[in-house]
Amino acid sequence: MNVLKLIRFPNLLIIALAQILIRYGLYVPFNATPALSDFQFALLILATLAIAAAGYVINDIYDQEIDRINKPNSLLVGNKISEKQANSLFVILNIIGVGIGFYLANTIQRPVFVSFFILISLLLYLYASSLKRILVVGNLLIAVLVAMSILIVPIFDLLPTITWQNQVVQTRTFLLILDFAIFAFFINWIREIVKDLLDIDGDKKGGINTLPIAIGRSRTLKIIMALTFLLLCGIIYYMYENLYKQQYLMLYFLVFIVGPLLYLFIKTFDAKSKKRYRFMASLLKIIMLMGICAMILFRYFY
């Protein structure tokens, strides 16, 4: 149970769900041609989850002192799991992720593609050890890596099968997945900033230069509002350009994505407590999940 908490098992399930819905929710409406068999696709999911889990482990290893302040009741490394055990788990998970990535890259005759897994693993290590201490850089990096967990699917499963006969279909499908990746990037960028508001006490003592520390809570909340507003405008524009004929999709986006984002925007005006920040972070995760689930509807209504 402690290991499942350490690797953030619920978050891994969300990543797996996103990848499954990309394959079986978005490929079908566009008749896209996959490069991987179902078994190989399952291996791609496993590799992605292994690398992501390793990232959570190494982050907790480096955050032991910070977590003693920010979340003393849920401290795992150095308390319920030894640092040696955590380091061993980190190495094993990376070997699994990169090893499977190497196999899949050679299977689709794109050996250079294994570099995606190596690079992501390296960036997660650098994030935990140093990059998270740099203003804004850590937030942006995590948001990019979340988006990459979505883009890794078409990179391995669509790009290798593009031919002149199917390039229109494959490209259209890839661009749709890219839209979801951009949505995931913005949601997680905002959420990382909100989490910085929650962790300000420990981050100060840990030498991490986050926005709340650098410019204060009030200005940080204004940045969150501005990013939320930009995301709202982007989604509404996307709906107008792409979904105006799809009434069920329009309704879903309005109720489960636009509505909650607008509510978040309003609640940010008077956010002053950790309880409110925690609510905002949870709401953003729910919005992210609702965005992922929208892929189901594309199969039937797009």
How far is the C-alpha of 189 from the C-alpha of 224, rounded, in Å? Answer: 9
The stretch 36-52 carries a mean pLDDT of 97
Output the 3-class SS for the chain. Answer: CHHHHHCCHHHHHHHHHHHHHHHHHHHHHHCCCCCCCHHHHHHHHHHHHHHHHHHHHHHHHHCHHHHHHHCHHHCCECCCECHHHHHHHHHHHHHHHHHHHHHHHHHCCCHHHHHHHHHHHHHHHHHHHCHHHCCCHHHHHHHHHHHHHHHHHHHHHCHHHCCCCCHHHHHHHHHHHHHHHHHHHHHHHHHHHHHHHHCHHHHHHCCCCCHHHHHCHHHHHHHHHHHHHHHHHHHHHHHHHHCCCCHHHHHHHHHHHHHHHHHHHHHHCCCCCHHHHHHHHHHHHHHHHHHHHHHHHHHHHC
What is residue 72's predicted lDDT score, i.e. its pLDDT? 76
What's the Cα-to-Cα distance from 25 to each of 14, 52, 135, 300, rounded to whole Å?
Answer: 15, 23, 37, 9
Domain span at 109: 2-301
**pLDDT bucket at 260, cuts 50 / 70 / 90:** very high
Pick the residue with more confidence: 150 or 206?
150
pLDDT value at 302 more than 70: no
What is residue 245's predicted lDDT score, i.e. its pLDDT? 82
The stretch 35-61 carries a mean pLDDT of 96
The two structure tokens encoding residue 134:
């740099």
pLDDT tens figures, 158-208: 999 998 888 899 999 999 999 999 999 999 999 999 999 999 988 888 888
What is residue 75's predicted lDDT score, i.e. its pLDDT? 83
What is residue 246's predicted lDDT score, i.e. its pLDDT? 87
Q: Please answer whether residues 200 and 294 qualify as being in contact, where contact means their C-beta atoms are separated by less than 8 angstroms.
A: no
How far is the C-alpha of 200 from the C-alpha of 274, rounded, in Å? Answer: 10
Strand partners, 77: 81
**pLDDT bucket at 78, cuts 50 / 70 / 90:** confident
What is residue 301's predicted lDDT score, i.e. its pLDDT? 65
Q: Please answer whether residues 151 and 18 qualify as being in contact, where contact means their C-beta atoms are separated by less than 8 angstroms.
A: no
What is residue 153's predicted lDDT score, i.e. its pLDDT? 97
What is residue 213's predicted lDDT score, i.e. its pLDDT? 94
In the chain, the number of structural domains is 1
What is residue 278's predicted lDDT score, i.e. its pLDDT? 95
pLDDT tens figures, 80-137: 899 999 999 999 999 999 999 999 999 999 999 999 999 999 999 999 999 999 999 9
**Which pTM does this prediction carry?**
0.94
Rounded percentage of the chain residues whose pLDDT exceeds 70: 99
What is residue 134's predicted lDDT score, i.e. its pLDDT? 93
The average confidence (pLDDT) of the chain is: 93
